[in-house]
Chains A and B, each alone.
Chain A
């Protein structure tokens, strides 16, 4: 459905990012892969051969099909490769280093710089995959990576091993940053009839319901270690922070106050939860231990204060939304409530998300706010040090609730068009937009920390 951004737009984004890069200090200067996008680095041309089937187990062919599809999709989604399309790849399935002819892959039309290949077998209800990554231009010593995976056969095993192998390749070729193929996205969906928390793989696979509260569940936030899910439950008692244990598969205790709490956020050490509470009257940002005790209030200004998020790199800063001057704006403060700084200069800004490396904020912004104003609510990214910002979504409906992938290269967000909400992902430069959900209404996505 999405037209890819025009060349001019891409060029503008590239220029802006280059400028931002030059503007950062030497101490914090890192390449753009580290700062959240892959721009500025030449994409590696990578081929993924179809894997060779070994044996004749009936489960093998479907496992191989899933494996090849997921591996190719993961490498494409990574955003750092120029993938050789399957139609340009040599029609061979080398199952081991002795079976590959590298010139076949490095010469036209494939022109691959790197090639991933290997074999897949199903034996004794186990899936066994041997995977290699070879440098196609280095015939003397081509091996970059060689891995064996051996896991019990389930309907999900082939997909899981493909994610692992893809992440290994991405970590090796992508500057040491771990891939996200095994990360999860938590979100709200009404497809069961009420708004509940759901979970899916990063690529939209395995969508399943987590909570069954028959209330209105909002603002899911997974803990840094992935074991606890905090969210807001709204019912006739009001809004309360609830915690679901991903390991126990049930709700666990979190002190319920008098129905005035919203939008939880985990500190990166998992020890604290910040949230908005009206227990003192006005909605303010509060912080408590992960078990709900040791409450402290951080803000004290009349007007809505909501949507806190910790700096995931340091844990010592919080970004949030405040309506203290009228329309909502993005602010940051130290996690003890001092050093308040306003980040946005107007419009209607909501739903901040802090990039994993601590350098960027993403948020939803309606910049030109007023009667007949052009534009709508879009996702933006802002460099915190310089406060320079870039618009990532354009004219695709109302977008909101950005959340960063663990590698900082992707952003998942909510897209609402004609009153219908779906979850989309994109690279952190706004390209590669794709839908993850298609059923019912889905919104408020939250990407796992790893």
Chain B
């Protein structure tokens, strides 16, 4: 038997916190009227920028369109220098305001367009509930070291992805089941499996998932994913498994 005990509880890595700011909901900002034309004959630049659609969910994309006149130097904050007119596909994860600045011999002007990234699924999409297979494909289990319930660094990555998916499905209830390999003692493994499920819940909550959506149970060593007696198999069995809680 090997001692894989790992005391160094992994300090909670900095988690990507998804800030869903409730952005301004106006469709687009029209360019303010250009400043008073200078005495020279060169006309002042004009600029216009739009985003279609103006509301998406994370993972979707939108088209940015902009046109300018009398400009020689056009840039969009966060994107950089761009052509004087053009289109670009963007898929931000957070609500973003695109700020375009056009400069020309006749002065400068700017225009903005806001793309709102919504947590809620788009109303146009089918409103059917999340299926179990969809859930399983997107919410992966995390694995533990022997006799340990500390979240490993590789599991932290999984937790971040799991949390992201779960946050985009705020109505889904989550059941976390803790499992152990079959080497230890049955009663102790029930408690250890509970600690694993609890650790996974804590990690999800720290990643922004509402704890009231989550229920934890332990199967100890009573259910095995893999029944061979080798480390690869034991590792498969030391896990916290996520499923839809009906």
Which residues of A are at the interface with B, using a C-beta cutoff of 8 A?
195, 216, 218-219, 232, 234, 236-239, 258-260, 262-263, 276, 278, 281-283, 303-307, 321, 323, 326-328, 348, 350-351, 364, 366, 369-371, 373, 377, 400-401, 419, 443-444
4 pairs of A and B residues whose beta carbons are closest in the complex: A304-B191, A350-B185, A238-B217, A306-B191
Binary interface encoding of chain B residues 187-230 relative to chain A, with 1 for a CB under 8 A from any of its CBs, else 0: 11011101100100000000000000001111110100000010
Interface assignment of B53: CB less than 8 Å from any CB of chain A = no
Least Cβ distance of A280 to chain B in Å? 11
Q: Chain A interface: which of B2-10, B18-26, B28-36?
A: B2-10
Question: Would A304 and B192 be within 8 Å (CB), given that A218-B222, A348-B184 are in contact?
Answer: yes
CB-based contact A306/B188 at 8 Å: yes
For the complex, what is the distance from the CA of A371 to the CA of B231, rounded to whole Å? 12
CB-based contact B1/A366 at 8 Å: yes
CB-based contact A262/B5 at 8 Å: no
CB-based contact A238/B218 at 8 Å: yes
14 A–B contacts, CB within 8 A, in A order: A218-B190, A218-B222, A232-B190, A234-B220, A239-B190, A262-B187, A323-B147, A323-B188, A326-B147, A327-B5, A328-B188, A371-B1, A373-B1, A419-B229
CB-based contact B186/A444 at 8 Å: yes
Question: Would A283 and B195 be within 8 Å (CB), given that A216-B222, A350-B188 are in contact?
Answer: yes
Given A218-B222, A400-B186, output 19 extra A-B contacts at Cβ < 8 Å: A195-B222, A232-B190, A238-B218, A260-B216, A278-B198, A278-B218, A281-B198, A282-B195, A304-B195, A307-B188, A323-B147, A323-B192, A326-B5, A328-B147, A348-B185, A351-B185, A370-B3, A377-B185, A401-B186
Per the CB 8 Å criterion, the residue count for chain B at the interface is: 25
For the complex, what is the distance from the CA of A369 to the CA of B5, rounded to whole Å? 11
Least Cβ distance of B215 to chain A in Å? 7
For the complex, what is the distance from the CA of A195 to the CA of B192, rounded to whole Å? 21
Least Cβ distance of B119 to chain A in Å? 28
CB-based contact B218/A327 at 8 Å: no
Which residues in A have their C-beta under 8 angstroms from that of B220? 234
| CB-CB nearest in chain A for B183 | A398
Least Cβ distance of B162 to chain A in Å? 20
For the complex, what is the distance from the CA of A96 to the CA of B201, rounded to whole Å? 74
Q: Which of B7, B217, B229 contacts A259 (CB 8 A)?
A: B217
For the complex, what is the distance from the CA of A306 to the CA of B229, rounded to whole Å? 26
Least Cβ distance of B92 to chain A in Å? 37
Question: Would A262 and B147 be within 8 Å (CB), given that A216-B222, A348-B184 are in contact?
Answer: no
For the complex, what is the distance from the CA of A307 to the CA of B187, rounded to whole Å? 7
| CB-CB nearest in chain B for A276 | B191
CB-based contact A262/B222 at 8 Å: no
Which residues in A have their C-beta under 8 angstroms from that of B2? 370-371
Q: Which of B1, B184, B185, B190 contacts A262 (CB 8 A)?
A: B190
A-B contact count (CB 8 A): 105
Least Cβ distance of B81 to chain A in Å? 54
CB-based contact B191/A258 at 8 Å: no
For the complex, what is the distance from the CA of A370 to the CA of B229, rounded to whole Å? 17
Question: Would A278 and B216 be within 8 Å (CB), given that A304-B194, A304-B195 are in contact?
Answer: yes
For the complex, what is the distance from the CA of A259 to the CA of B131, rounded to whole Å? 24
Q: Which of A258, A303, A350, A370 contacts B1 (CB 8 A)?
A: A370
| CB-CB nearest in chain A for B197 | A278
Which residues in B have their C-beta under 8 angstroms from that of A419? 229
CB-based contact B194/A321 at 8 Å: no
Question: Would A369 and B1 be within 8 Å (CB), given that A234-B222, A444-B186 are in contact?
Answer: yes
Which residues in A have their C-beta under 8 angstroms from that of B194? 260, 262, 278, 283, 304
Binary interface encoding of chain B residues 135-179 relative to chain A, with 1 for a CB under 8 A from any of its CBs, else 0: 000000000000100000000000000000000000000000000
For the complex, what is the distance from the CA of A258 to the CA of B190, rounded to whole Å? 15
Interface residues of B in 88-123 (CB under 8 A from A): none
CB-based contact A364/B185 at 8 Å: yes
CB-based contact A369/B188 at 8 Å: no
CB-based contact B186/A443 at 8 Å: yes
CB-based contact B185/A303 at 8 Å: no
Which residues in A have their C-beta under 8 angstroms from that of B187? 218-219, 262-263, 276, 306-307, 321, 350-351
Which residues in A have their C-beta under 8 angstroms from that of B229? 419
Which residues in A have their C-beta under 8 angstroms from that of B1? 366, 369-371, 373
Which residues in A have their C-beta under 8 angstroms from that of B188? 304, 306-307, 321, 323, 328, 350-351
| CB-CB nearest in chain A for B229 | A419
For the complex, what is the distance from the CA of A350 to the CA of B5, rounded to whole Å? 17
CB-based contact A326/B7 at 8 Å: yes
CB-based contact A400/B218 at 8 Å: no
Least Cβ distance of A22 to chain B in Å? 33
Least Cβ distance of A237 to chain B in Å? 7
Least Cβ distance of A84 to chain B in Å? 42
Interface residues of B in 22-75 (CB under 8 A from A): none
